[in-house]
A and B are shown apart, each in its own frame.
Chain A
Amino acid sequence: MTSTEGRPLRLLVLVVVLAGLVLPILAGLWETARAAFGILPAIGAETVSVVPWRQLLSQPGFGTSLMLTLWTGFASTLLALLLAAGFAAAMHERFGPRDGARIIAPFLATPHAALAIGLAFLIAPSGWIARLLSPWATGWDLPPDIATVHDGMGLALILGLLVKEVPFFLLVILAALSQLPARRHLRAARALGYGRGVAWIKVLGPQVYPLIRLPVYVVLSFALSVVDMAIILGPSNPPVLSVAVTRWFLAADTTLILPASAAALVQSGVVILGIALWWGAERAIIGIGRVWIRRGGRGLSAEPGIMAAGGVTLLLMALGAAAIVALMLWSLAWRWSFPQPLPESWSLGAWMRPGAGWGAALGDTLAIGLAATALSLVLAVAWLEGEDRAHMPRARWAEAMIYLPLLVPQIAFLYGLNVAFLRLGLSGNMGAVIWAHALFVFPYVMIALSDPWRALDPKLLRAAAALGAGPARRLFAVKLPILLRPILTAAAIGFAVSVAQYLPTLFIGAGRVATLTTEAVTLSSGSDRRVTGVYAVLQAALPFAAYLAALTLPTLLQRNRAGLSGGVA
């Protein structure tokens, strides 16, 4: 066999990925950059100038927004990484990777917006926690006047990011650990006199980190540029930079689009600089760490820190679960006055009126999610099959291309992409929104499917080939059926990613496409928690339904095939 086998397929995949994924990002960045320097014909701006930058610098609160962005982004990412590592150190010997994934999956499935709204319901001055504690413990008969949500320091936003990112880091850490002889190395270190905690820091940490570096950068980029969660939980005046940019882009005063574009470029600069800083810190820590390891200190004292990290992580998970319960309670509440611990009367009212808006939003969310997932899945399978046929490992640039949409901040190119779509007459079109969603769904589908795909026993394929099955029959009659479970899991992950998207719908939909997420974020600033609750519950329920389907369908379809139930999933 030669590497020319499957070349047409690989070329086709490459062209589709370049034209479908890379080109829109570059075009979006290009249009954003043009607008940042004064060129946006759609609003009659046609001369190159630096005026947008001057306007940006004179925007009230710009400096504060920038500082808030750096603070919330770095604090949440660093803290999430430390907590997840501590939790993994405390717990990983107690459960296998599959148990871990089972506990973590619900947190990954819940969209940021739904979780943020639930958290706000929980920790707001008039939220569920205050109601449970009042008046017997706090003495409050009215909601107190303290900012527990939208606080100026961004603490609520950091908390929200932690609830989402700690489980994500845990998942990637557990996956990395499963590739290492972790137990042997821990035993070796402990036999040399190192306590469990120190052994983790000196032996497993340095081996795990290189395996999770890209996901760490993805989280850092996300935390530095998140919009939906920052609108719901973050500081409001001034907000973090990404929220400020979104507001300027959508302001009634269209001249703000130019400084907004400049700010969007700043936002990409912040992310690039942030990742560079993080990378520099990695280098420094590696250098210092080596000297520290050489000194041979056994230090038995890291144990309390690890136990504390484990405890805080459990607390975050409990908060996340309580947030979802709070959403459900409010969506079913009729009368619930402060400080009653539970609603005084219940009603299905909000649920009985799909015509009031959530019916249409649900339909659009489903349509976009299913279409974007199906497209991404086909492309991912074609990509992996192309790799198989060429017998080639994935090149680094190809891996980088997959991660590109996750590393470039959305706000930096989505408005520019919409400008490009406007020119092509695609803006506000359902197809364009699906395309924009697929930009972010595809990387996750690809990441989720790659490992199980490669883990497939090559002997089965050789056996099929020896029986006369050609490449197509090997793909459709052997690979896809055997990989049904991981394929459905990847699809569920992709669907969850689509359901959670906010900015792509907002910008590319040009206000004409509304999903559960865009509606929920808009409603979250309103006062009717019952309606908001319905949207958020639906938003959280869709990914769960998808995961449930991914779990149960293979069991139903392949119920007499015990050899398929474990292993590869």
Chain B
Amino acid sequence: MTGLELKSVSIRAETSPEPLFPPLSFTVPRGTVTTIVGPSGIGKSTLMDFIGGHLPRGFRAAGVVALDGRDVTRLPAEARRIGILFQGAALFPHLSVGDNLAFGLAPHVRGREARRAAVKAALDHADLPGFADRDPATLSGGQRARAALMRTLLAEPCALLLDEPFSALDPSLRNDLREFVFSHVRDRAIPTLMVTHDEADAGAAGGPVIAL
């Protein structure tokens, strides 16, 4: 089975016997986007945390997360190769935009020149040419989100989680950025799971929608 697969995943707070939502089972095939919608507080972000390997203390989870047929449920976050795109981008403020991307760039790209070229190509591709030495704090919301996507993609993830990545942006920017993100996902055949409370996000993704 290729893609990102969830088998009877359920999560509950340690203090409560009730799960946050009924057990979930579904598969996200490569190059498609599955959307999870639901009211805030239902546990969408906690589900993303669990899939990515970041489940916070105080929660218990059951079920299996598999990536291209490989069970990653017990792996630490850094070994899963599941990229995350956050709302607000989470660029590291102590690094330049270029160094943020270099931070993501997979280590098998060796040599200073090769790495610099890869970063430059990614920036050009994201319509951020010449931004390598910029301070991330000087970027607009949309630029930050594009840089963050490039940082994530340079790490060559096998799956991608989008945690409300568009909700902090102006409505006018949102469309462009959605288009940008989804086209990259399709080009690279990455299975992508998005949580959102914005109906328009779900519509633009074009894939199945799961309501929690």
Contacts and interface: CB of A to CB of B under 8 A. Distances in A.
Interface of A: 93-94, 181, 183-185, 187-196, 199, 202-203, 206-207, 290, 293-298, 300
A296 B81 contact: no
B7 to A, nearest CB: 22
> Looking at A189, A193, A196, which has the most chain B CB atoms within 10 Å of its CB?
A193
Interface in B158-208: 161
Main secondary structure of the interface of A (DSSP, over half): helix
A105 to B, nearest CB: 23
B84 interface: yes
B100 to A, nearest CB: 10
Interface in B126-178: 151-152, 155, 157, 161
B93 interface: yes
Nearest to A206: B94
Contacts of A189: 103
A296 B105 contact: yes
Interface string B4-42: 000000000000000000000000000000000000000
B53 A188 contact: no
Contacts of A192: 78, 83, 103-104, 151-152, 155
Interface string B87-128: 000101111000100111111010010010000000000000
> Looking at A94, A184, A188, which has the most chain B CB atoms within 10 Å of its CB?
A188
Interface in B53-97: 53-54, 56-57, 76-79, 81-84, 86, 90, 92-95
Contact of A296 (B76, B102, B161): B102
B52 interface: yes
Contact of A293 (B82, B83, B102, B157): B102
B102 A190 contact: no
A185 B109 contact: no
Nearest to A198: B78
> Looking at B54, B57, B151, B161, which has the most chain A CB atoms within 10 Å of its CB?
B54
Contacts of A183: 56
B65 to A, nearest CB: 14
A207 B93 CA distance: 8
Q: How large is the interface on B (under 10, 10 to 19, 20 to 34, 35 or more residues)?
A: 35 or more
A207 B94 contact: yes
B52 to A, nearest CB: 6
A189 B81 CA distance: 11
26 contacts: A93-B57, A181-B90, A184-B90, A185-B90, A187-B54, A187-B84, A187-B90, A188-B84, A188-B90, A188-B92, A192-B104, A192-B155, A193-B79, A193-B81, A194-B78, A196-B76, A199-B78, A202-B103, A206-B94, A290-B99, A294-B102, A296-B102, A296-B106, A296-B109, A296-B115, A300-B78
B107 A297 contact: yes
Nearest to A195: B78
Contacts of B103: 189, 192, 202-203, 293-294, 296
Contacts of B90: 181, 184-185, 187-188
A206 to B, nearest CB: 4
A189 B83 CA distance: 10
